Amino acid sequence: MGGLAILDFTTNVWQATIPWTMPVLTSLVKASSLRWLTSLELDLELFTDTSDEGMTQIVSLIKRNKMLKHLRLRAGINLDPHLRPPSKNWSPLLDLLGTDRPPFRLQTLDLDGLITSGTTTLDRIINIHAPTLRRIVLNHINLRRPNSLRAFFAALTKTGLNFFATNNFLINDTFWLSDGVLKIHSKPDEVLTGSSESDQTYKDWVHITWHTKRRDEWAIYDNVNGAYGELWMKDMIWGVIHSMDFSDIEP
């Protein structure tokens, strides 16, 4: 069997208030034929008083699909400014994805609205699926302890990713992860051009610029077509890790 997509149930606020989630998930779980999916994409409102039941249903659905390769889960638009407090409701999904012997090996992990909770960390999930993972997309996420930002990026270096994107990525309720470009170039000093050639102190100016994106702008690293070479993604990720090692950012 191929893929299944349930989309556009939370496109607007008024749609999110209609209790679609449980009837849809219940119907999917009851469909015994849904056992050989290779792709599953769900766009449902999971921030409700029945979110624990909804997550349980999702886990029941995906764990029986041993051929699953692409998982995309969008948990709705009802997110508060701090991307929701921790919730044990998400633990069953994280535990399933991070088990030592998962029922499937993912190539795509696309999560929007994930609440990190419990003891299973994102770096563990990535390490488990590292041999097959090629695409990771994370939007509206709060990476709380025991998750570690450095461990998360270190896990990415063990994958064969060719696409990585983040947006609205909060870390430990403290700071936002955003994309930036540091540019350094020299500019000849037009005023001091007549100085002695032996005196190089003021020969040129060095211009340093730091361009950063807003937290709600996508940071996208795309090498799907291989244009940047095999090591480009790993080099970019290691650059982030080295930046953390030489900064005040908590790992």
Give the pLDDT of residue 1.
Answer: 56
Give the pLDDT of residue 46.
Answer: 67
Q: Could you tell me the residue ranges of all domains in the chain?
A: 3-178+215-245, 179-212
Q: What is the pLDDT of residues 84-139, one digit of tens each?
A: 666 677 788 899 999 998 889 999 999 988 877 778 999 999 999 999 999 999 98
Q: Is 164 helix (H, G, I), strand (E, B) or coil?
A: strand
Q: Is 156 helix (H, G, I), strand (E, B) or coil?
A: helix
Q: Higher-confidence residue: 83 or 217?
A: 217
DSSP state letters, 26-59: HHHHH-TTTT--SEEEEE----STTHHHHHHHHH
pTM: 0.78
